[in-house]
Amino acid sequence: MKIGIVLGTRPEIIKMSPIIEEIENSDSELVLIHTGQHYDIEMSKQFFIDLKLPVPDYNIGIGSNTAINQISIIISELEKILTKEQVDIVLVQGDTNAVLAGALAANKLKIPVGHVEAGLRSFDKNMPEEINRIVADGCSTLYFVPTEETAINLQNEGINHNSIYVTGNSVVDACKRNLKIALETSKIKEEINSDEYIALTLHRAENVDDEERLRHIVHSLINLPYNFVFPVHPHTRKSLENLGLYDEIDNCDHIQITKPLGYLDFLYLLSQSQLTLTDSGGVQEEAITLDIPCVTLRYNTERPETITAGGNILAGTESEEIMKNISDILDNKDVYDKMSRAKNPYGDGTTAKQICSIIKERYDEDNLKIRRADEIEDFEGYFMDTVSEGITVKEYEARNSGNIIEQVYSEGIPQYISEELNLNNKTIIYKRFKKINW
Ligand code: UD1
Ligand code: UDP
């Protein structure tokens, strides 16, 4: 089997790294395609070094540009690469422009797409990432979702539960595989000025491209009586410099600015911090994996499991709220301990292994390809039913050929549809086809 991976930015390199390692240790062939969206050494190459990844087979070298420019050029370059390489599946991860372009290009070439970290929704269409996720999911054939809650998002959008796999998040694999190495080898400890500090990251477009929000966030950093270590994303650095805020922060004794850190250095920094203040998706997940309380500089998150688990708080971007939330945690041991003990909802670090074995199994069963029209005949409509016998989803669908269950409610609450879910006393919504072959 030949597997294509399209990636373009720092978090994709990190979260794909365990999957790349699994593929390299298998019989499958890997074609690694970097779009070049992140190109600074510390935003890209450093991660290939830290995570011992192979040099990409292709680098489209897209660089920085408008989203439309990036996406359209990546798609047309991918057409050439994917047509030449004839891969059996393309994997994309997350919600960046690389994901949208990779999923769309592959789908147009009728190549199956596996979306790693599928199904996340912030329900905020102002975020470029939300549209990227939705389009990528629309193009995908296999959905590797981190949690059951995420699977329910996809079920709500009519995605067939037979193509959704709850695998956890590969960020946990990356964390677990690298934490010990980071603690033993990172030299960053010699550079951190304080024993107690908040690890700060900031880069979301809706924060750093919005002057008012950025000023509010900076105001809170300057006024909080805690130490910060702040590896500055290049996007953020440019915005801070344009507004004359960079020097203001740099002149504060309690804020230590660094370049963007490599993965091992960042893992060290985060794991030894008191708390993290962030608007990053990956850092929210890593914080709960490493038992570090997280305060998120956003009004919504596509990672609500971290909030429900008690490890993350949405502070928004107003100075007063940010300051209050941080003080409430750091000045109250009970709150702090409770947040540190929040249970990680993102699995046990076996996500990459699970994903690779699911792909292999489907490939071996000749069940990877996009369905042909004659396998999906005549959609008859949506129907609702209440089941009054102890029958599983798998048994129900086998008995009622052509029916695909789309939602299951138990006492009004939507359920994750696993094959083994018992439908007794549950209300189901299903699609009916004259014939369907999944
Ligand atoms: C991108 C992703 C975002 C992800 C983030 C991870 C999209 C729409 N955004 O945001 O979802 O969370 O990566 O970090 O895909 N720049 C450099 N050097 C680089 C890369 C960028 O200087 O190596 C600067 C350029 O000025 C560029 C700006 O950062 O214009 C923004 O880069 P871009 O890749 O568009 O978005 P990110 O903010 O990095
Ligand atoms: N990260 C890093 N160095 C840094 C900041 C973050 O290695 O200086 C890692 C972090 O461990 C996480 C990932 O980058 O795995 C998150 O990427 P980012 O915040 O850029 O993007 P997002 O996750 O929000 O898409």
- Ligand 1 pocket check for 38: Cβ under 6 Å: yes
Q: Can you tell me which residue has the tokens 């990528």?
A: 136
Q: Which residues are catalytic?
A: 203
Residues in the chain, how many? 438
The 10s digit of each residue's pLDDT in 320-376 is 999 999 999 999 999 999 999 999 999 999 999 999 999 999 999 999 988 877 778
Query: Cβ(77)–Cβ(101) under 8 Å?
Result: no
Q: Of all helices (H) and strands (E), which one includes residue 166? A: strand 164-166
254 CA to centre of ligand 2 in angstroms: 22
Q: Is 201 in the pocket of ligand 2 (CB under 6 A)?
A: yes
206 within 8 A of 122, measured Cβ to Cβ = no
Six-digit token pair at 214? 């950025």
CA-nearest residue, atom 11 of ligand 1: 96
Protein residue closest via CA to atom 12 of ligand 2: 282
Nearest CA to ligand 1 atom 20: 38
Matching fold, domains 2-169+349-364 and 180-340 = yes
> For the chain, what is the radius of gyration of the CA atoms?
23
282 in ligand 2 pocket by Cβ < 6 Å?
A: yes
Residues of the chain with pLDDT under 50: none
Q: Which residues neighbour 243 within 8 Å (Cβ) at sequence distance 6 or greater?
A: 211, 214, 215
Distance (angstroms) between ligand 2 centre and the Cα of 160 equals 32
18 Cβ below 6 A of ligand 2: no
Gap between the Cα atoms of 175 and 346, Å rounded = 12
State which H helix or E strand residue 312 sits in: strand 312-314
Q: How far away, in angstroms, is 63 Cα from ligand 1 center?
A: 9
- Report the pLDDT value the prediction gives residue 109, as an integer from 0 to 100: 98
Q: What is the pLDDT of residue 438?
A: 66
* Domain locations in the chain as residue ranges: 2-169+349-364, 180-340, 376-436
The per-residue DSSP string of 409-427 comes to: EETTEE----TT-B-TT-E
Contact 224, 321 (CB under 8 A): no
Structural domain 180-340, CATH architecture: 3-Layer(aba) Sandwich (3.40)
Distance between CA atoms of 290 and 285, rounded to whole angstroms?
Answer: 9
User: How far apart, in whole angstroms, are the C-alpha atoms of residue 351 and residue 299?
Assistant: 29
Residue 305 CA: distances (Å) to CA of 156, 181, 310, 322, 350: 17, 28, 9, 21, 19
Which ligand has the nearest atom to the CA of 13?
Answer: 2
- Which pair of structure tokens corresponds to residue 421? 């879910």
β-strand partners of 31: 4
Q: What is the DSSP letter of 246?
A: H
- What percent of the chain stands above pLDDT 70? 100
Question: Which residues lie below 8 Å from residue 334, measured CB to CB, with a gap of 6+?
Answer: none
Cβ within 8 Å of residue 313, ≥6 positions away: 293, 294, 295, 296, 307, 325, 329, 339
Decide: helix, strand or coil at residue 251.
Answer: coil
Find tokens 């699609």 and name the residue: 431
How many CB atoms are located within 10 Å of the residue 380 CB?
A: 12
What is the reported pLDDT for 86? 98
CATH superfamily of 2-169+349-364: Glycogen Phosphorylase B; (3.40.50.2000)
**To 10 degrees, the CA torsion angle through 316, 295, 146, 35?**
70
Q: Which of 283, 286, 296 has most ligand 2 atoms within 8 Å of CB, for mutation?
A: 283
List, for residues 269-289, the tens digit of each pLDDT value: 999 999 999 999 999 999 999
Cβ of 298 closer than 6 Å to ligand 1, yes or no, is no
Which residue has the least CA distance to atom 24 on ligand 2? 280
